[in-house]
Amino acid sequence: MIKIGQIGMAHDHAEGKMSCVRKFPEVFEVVGIAEENPEIIKKFGNRPCYRNIPVMSVDELLNIKGLNAIMVETDELSLVHYAQKCIDKNIHVHIDKPAGGNVEDFERLLRDAKLKKLVVQLAYMYRYNPAVLYCANAVKRGKLGEIFRVQAIMNTYHPPEKRAWMKPFPGGNMFYLGCHMVDLVIMMMGVPEKIIPFNRSTFFDGVDVIDTGFAVFEYKRGIATAEASSNDVNGYGRRSLLVCGSKGTIEIRPLEDSFNGQPTLTMSLKEMTEGREYTDCKCVVPMHAMTGRYDSMMLDFARMIEEGKENPFTYEYELLVQKAVLAACGLPIKVEYTEI
Do the domains 2-123+295-309 and 126-285 sit in the same CATH topology, yes or no? no
pLDDT tens digits, 169-214: 999 999 999 999 999 999 999 999 999 999 999 999 999 999 999 9
* Selection from 233, 260, 234, 254 nearest residue 242 by Cα: 254
Which of 3.40.640.10, 3.40.190.10, 2.40.110.10, 3.30.360.10 is the CATH number of 126-285? 3.30.360.10
pLDDT tens digits, 46-67: 999 999 999 999 999 999 999 9
Give me the long-range contacts of 18-26 (CB less than 8 A, separation at least 24): 18/49, 18/50, 18/53, 18/71, 18/73, 19/48, 19/49, 20/292, 20/293, 20/294, 20/295, 20/298, 21/71, 21/298, 22/49, 23/292, 23/295, 24/298, 24/299, 24/302, 26/1
pLDDT tens digits, 215-227: 999 999 999 999 9
Q: So where are the chain's domains?
A: 2-123+295-309, 126-285
Return d(Cα 202, Cα 229) in angstroms, integer: 10
Q: What is the pLDDT of residue 259?
A: 55
pLDDT tens digits, 108-138: 999 999 999 999 999 999 999 999 999 999 9
Supply the pTM of this predicted model.
Answer: 0.96
Which of 3.30.390.50, 3.40.50.720, 3.50.50.60, 3.40.50.1380 is the CATH number of 2-123+295-309? 3.40.50.720
